[in-house]
Structures are given as C-alpha cells and as structure tokens.
Amino acid sequence: MRIVVLGVGNILLSDEGIGVRTVEKLARDYILPAEVELIDGGTSAMEMLEDLGHADHLIIVDAVRSGKPPATIVRMAGDEVPVFFRTKLSPHQVGLSDVLATLVLMGEQPGTTTVIGIEPESLALGMELTPAVARQLPQVVGLVKSELNQLGMNLTARH
C-alpha cells in the first residue's frame, strides 16, 4: 500500500500556499507510517510523475475557488474530482491535471483521488497565510488525518 499526501501551491502568494503549509505541519506534528508519503509539490508538474505513479491513494490539499466564503473547506472524492479539474478551480489546475491525465495515459493513475480544498481569502504576495485561513490549518490537518485513519493509517503525534 502506498498513500501520497500532496500539498500544492505557491507559498509566495499567501493563502495559495495552504496545501504546502498543511504538508509541512503534518510532517512537523506527526510520525507517519511507512506507507504514507508527504510531498510538497509546490507548483510543479511533470517532476511529480515518479512520486504519484502507482499510488494506491492520493490525497491532494490545495487552495480552490469554490465560490464559497473565504477559508471554507471543501472535500471532493471519486467522480467529483474530474469535474473539479475540468472547471478549473485551482490556479495549478493546468499543471496538476496534466500530471493526472498523463498518469491515466500511462496506466499508473492512483486508485483513489481525494481533494481537500480551501477557499483562499488573499492571493497577494507574501509568505504568510491570512489569519482566517491560518485558523483553519489545524482543521485541514485533522481532515487529512481522518482520511488517513479511514485508510487504516494511524499517525503518532510528536511531543
């Protein structure tokens, strides 16, 4: 079993970096089972083929435009995910959807794909999350953790 938690986003654009900040916090706060791999994907694309290929489960954390109030958290899984990519809610949609489409072409697509999305409040230049989105960070981490729990993975808190 191989599970990939992929945080995407540009940490130079405040809330755009929420996916990466989530992965960083997970790595800081928990000891992960060997089956779980955390990836800070930044805004890259083809470089991730190797890491995403043949994953049993892929959990993507990203800033998304869902039309909901800032800092709203949305979860999409299964059939909802292709729709999410076709309607281009995320600024990285082109890169990431290309990677996923390429994996399909190569027959290496993940068994399941789940997206945890957070509506950004600001995409202004800056390395900090806005307070509203920063307050949601523990909840986003908690959501990823419960996704992993449902897949039978138990995380141990670091103290």
Partner 1 sequence: MGKRITIDPITRIEGHLRIDCEVDGGKVTKAWASGQMWRGVEKILLGHDARDAWTITQRICGVCTTVHAIASVRAVENALNMEIPLNAQYIRNLIITAHAIHDHIVHFYHLSALDWVDVTSALKGDPAKTAQLAESLSTWKGNSIHEFEQVKTRLGAFVGTGQLGIFTNGYWGHPAMKLSPEVNLLATAHYLQALDIQRKANKIVTVLGSKTPHIQNLAVGGVANPIALDSQSVLTVERLMAIKGWIDELADFVKNVYLVDVSAIGAFYSDWTKYGAGITDYLSVPDLPLDTKGTQFALPGGYIKGGDLASHHAIKAFGDPYFRDGVEESVKHSWYKGGKGALHPYKGETDPEYTDFEDNGKYSWVKSPTFYSRPAQVGPLARVLNMVAADHAPTKKYLQTVLDTVGSLAKTTIPVSALHSTIGRHAARAVSCAVQVDELDHQWSLLMANIAKGDTATFNKPVFPKGEVSGVGFHEAPRGVLSHWVVIKDGKIKNYQAVVPTTWNAAPRNESDTPGPYEAALLNNPVADPEKPLEVLRTVHSFDPCLACAVHVLDPESNEVVTVKVL
Residues of this chain that bind partner 1 (CB under 8 A): 10-13, 16, 40-50, 65, 82, 87-88, 91-92, 94-95, 97-98, 100-102, 104-107, 123, 125-127
- Our CB check for partner 1 shows the closer of 100 and 116 to be 100
- Our CB check for partner 1 shows the closer of 46 and 149 to be 46
Cβ-Cβ contacts under 8 Å for 37 (sequence gap 6 or more): 2, 3, 4, 5, 51
φ, ψ at 19 (rounded to 5°): -65, -45
The number of angstroms, rounded, from the C-alpha of 6 to the middle of its chain's C-alpha atoms is 5
CA dist 134 and 141 (Å) reads 11
Structure letter (DSSP) for residue 13: B
- Our CB check for partner 1 shows the closer of 97 and 147 to be 97
8 Å CB contact between 34 and 68? no
Chain position carrying tokens 């089972």? 33
- Our CB check for partner 1 shows the closer of 5 and 147 to be 5
- The verdict on whether residue 159 carries a ligand-binding annotation is no
Q: How far is the CB of 104 from partner 1 (least distance, A)?
A: 6
Q: How far is the CB of 132 from partner 1 (least distance, A)?
A: 17
Q: How far is the CB of 106 from partner 1 (least distance, A)?
A: 6
Give the SS3 label for residue 34: coil
- The verdict on whether residue 92 carries a ligand-binding annotation is yes
Q: How far is the CB of 76 from partner 1 (least distance, A)?
A: 17
CA dist 119 and 81 (Å) reads 16
Annotated binding site for Ni(2+): 16, 62, 92
